[in-house]
Amino acid sequence: MELVDHSDRGRASRVRGRRHSRVLSRYAGRPIRLIWRYIARRKTAHAIVLASVVAAVGFALASQYGIRNLIDALPQGRAHPQTVAYAFAVLVGLIFADNVMWRVAGWVSSRAFVRVTGDIRQDMFDYLMGHAPTFFADKQPGVLSSRVSATANAVYVIENTVAWTALPPTLTVIGAIVMVATVSLPMSIALVAISALLTACLFWLARKGTSRHEAFASQAASVDGELVDVIGNMGLVRAFSAVPAELRRFGGHLEAEAVARRRSLLYLEKLRLVHAFATALLSAALLGWTIWLWTQGRATTGDVVLVGSLGFAILHGSRDVAVAFVDLTQHVARLAEASQTLLTPHAMPEAPKAIPLIVREATVDFDNVSFAYPGRRRVLSDLTLHIEAGERVGLVGPSGAGKSTVLALLQRFYDPANGCVRISDQDISYVTLQSLQAAISVVPQDVTLFHRSLLDNIRYGCPDATEADVKRACEDASCMDFIAALPDGLNTIAGDRGTKLSGGQRQRIAIARAILKDSPILLLDEATSALDTASEIVIQAALERLMKNRTVIAIAHRLSTLQSFDRIIVMNRGRVVQEGTPAKLAMVPGIYRDTLARHNRRTPAPTMN
């Protein structure tokens, strides 16, 4: 059997994927740069939104001039009605243009911002899928899924907050200060100085509160993780009458989140209070100054109205800027925390010049392989093992002997500390992960199914398979009988992790899935250990059909399942201590013969996982 990838498109895609992963990891904990990356993908749409908002604010400020001109034209309006009509027409035109620009900005942003959200969620998911198994072992699935959503949602909220809450009042304040200069330049200069001082003060205070916002983001993600963890293990919770205990535990997490949220929100309120007090004093001083100029004959009645309205615009605008700014601080902190978690550099990236695995003869070799899980003792010690193409090999040994580690290293879930693992004389550390995964089929002890139809689950490793192909695989796996008895047949939903099916049914679905994938190497990890005798007989027959013409490596607790194998390898403490045919080992003193004797006496045997 030969697996060769000659696709130039596939190679180009893998190169782009590796480059994409390296680039994304640079944005961990850098939320502003991350946001800008996705804005830059849709520059034209964002430029239109920006230009429309600027134009809308400009027309809104210009309408203040229109009001002033209308007020100043009224005293002579009866003598010169055309002056009043002209001022009125200009004001109406400015108001109309203001509203049109807002609608243009809203229409374009409703598409662009949503697409940015989709882009970042897709990229975060793509990057997450590239992490090594150790990454997922250390984190709750709920925490990771919530962070993918939190990253996308934070970017969406930040874009909307900037476009509709922060940018318009900022432009309004700047424009208002410029317009005040037409009445009094010293007044405008004073406004600039005070506004700059107030902004700097708020920025400094907001940065001091970042730790509070990040703590809240972390607690919120922890609550999501607890929810998924408990719901996913609800059967265990009920089996041990642990509902009250889980409610108390979850209540503790909620309380911790509430405390973190209160600290975050109260700090934001303090910032708003400081800003509100400062802007109220500023507006009162501004209006008083203008009235004093009016008493001196240096400002018209229209100027007083203009500056009064501009003062309120500055008051409300700067208040809105402060509110938006402190809100943005919270969302940016949450984005930074989520991206820091998700964009951790990949522990086992694909080699820069990885090539597709070419399997002509499905041989497997472990050359002086040593391995230890992080923080634990060595599991494999200088393991050397050769398996011929088409050979059926069983791994036997006590718990902790390293059997499951052999299968994990062969699938490159981990890299060995020393030595190398080869398939068809190619070091798997230097081949593409996709081609390696395509060469191996696995039937595990604990079969996991998606909450999808049985049809989708069976052709998961071969998405292009026809329904006829799936049915043939089901016949070979001896599962067509129970599938036909289901109300929706192959369209029946398997349930979360396949809970709607029995253990034996899930095992047969896994076998059908492996048959359809048609890989040259087959790994069986305790595929029949949890089954009753009747189910084991049916599944054993299906496995015989599956193993035909394949290189097979099987871990089995029930030695009866290995009697037809070509070779048994007995492992202990990470080393091969015995090997040979089942008949030969049954005659030689050692672990295999002792275990076989216990099985024959039908006495409980030690767990060999």
pLDDT recorded at residue 45: 92
Q: CA 349, CA 433: separation in Å to the nearest integer?
A: 9
- Count of residues making up the chain: 609
Residue 13 has pLDDT above 70, yes or no: no
pLDDT recorded at residue 551: 94
Element of type H or E holding 133: helix 133-137
pLDDT recorded at residue 302: 63
Q: Which residues, 6+ apart, have CB-to-CB distance to 343 below 8 Å?
A: 24, 25, 27, 28, 29, 127
Q: CA 573, CA 97: separation in Å to the nearest integer?
A: 79
Cβ neighbours around 469 below 10 Å, total: 16
pLDDT recorded at residue 202: 67
pLDDT recorded at residue 55: 92
Q: In this predicted structure, which of 49-53, 170-174, 479-483 has the lowest mean pLDDT?
A: 170-174
* Secondary structure (H, E, C), 533-587: HHHHHHHHHHHHHHHCCCEEEEECCCHHHHCCCCEEEEEECCEEEEEECHHHHCC
pLDDT recorded at residue 4: 43
Q: Are 463 and 403 in contact (CB under 8 A)?
A: no
Which tens digits make up the pLDDT trace of 383-406?
Answer: 999 999 999 999 998 888 899 999
Task: Assign 606 a pLDDT band (cuts: 50, 70, 90).
Answer: very low
| Mean local confidence (pLDDT), 418-428 | 93
Which tens digits make up the pLDDT trace of 592-601?
Answer: 888 788 777 6
Q: Give CA separation, 154 vs 148, 338, 428, 486, in Å.
A: 10, 9, 39, 44
Task: Assign 605 a pLDDT band (cuts: 50, 70, 90).
Answer: very low
Task: Assign 370 a pLDDT band (cuts: 50, 70, 90).
Answer: very high
pLDDT recorded at residue 368: 93
In the DSSP assignment, the letter for residue 398 is S
Which tens digits make up the pLDDT trace of 224-282?
Answer: 667 767 776 666 676 666 778 778 877 887 787 788 877 777 776 777 677 767 777 77
Q: In this predicted structure, which of 6-15, 121-130, 339-348, 442-451 has the lowest mean pLDDT?
A: 6-15
Task: Assign 149 a pLDDT band (cuts: 50, 70, 90).
Answer: confident
Q: CA 286, CA 187: separation in Å to the nearest integer?
A: 8
Mean pLDDT, the chain, as a whole number?
80
Range of 184-198, 460-474, 524-538 with top mean pLDDT:
460-474
| Mean local confidence (pLDDT), 151-167 | 88
Class of domain 10-342: mainly alpha
Q: In this predicted structure, which of 74-78, 333-337, 407-411 has the lowest mean pLDDT?
A: 74-78
Task: Assign 64 a pLDDT band (cuts: 50, 70, 90).
Answer: confident
Residue 485 has pLDDT above 50, yes or no: yes
Which tens digits make up the pLDDT trace of 68-89?
Answer: 677 767 776 666 677 777 777 8
Name which of 346, 343, 335 is nearest 149 in CA terms: 335
Q: CA 499, CA 449: separation in Å to the nearest integer?
A: 8
Range of 4-8, 44-48, 177-181 with top mean pLDDT:
44-48
Name which of 260, 223, 213 is nearest 143 in CA terms: 223
Whole-number CA gyration radius for the chain: 35
pLDDT recorded at residue 607: 46
Burial (CB count <10 Å: 0-12, 13-18, 19+), residue 604: exposed
pLDDT recorded at residue 93: 85
pLDDT recorded at residue 424: 93
Name which of 84, 94, 525, 64 is nearest 303 in CA terms: 64
| Mean local confidence (pLDDT), 184-206 | 70
| Mean local confidence (pLDDT), 18-39 | 78
Task: Assign 19 a pLDDT band (cuts: 50, 70, 90).
Answer: low
Burial (CB count <10 Å: 0-12, 13-18, 19+), residue 382: middle
pLDDT recorded at residue 487: 85
pLDDT recorded at residue 481: 86
Which tens digits make up the pLDDT trace of 85-142?
Answer: 777 788 888 888 888 998 999 899 988 998 998 898 888 888 888 887 778 777 777 6
Cβ neighbours around 32 below 10 Å, total: 12
392-396 and 440-443: which strand pairing? unpaired
pLDDT recorded at residue 496: 74
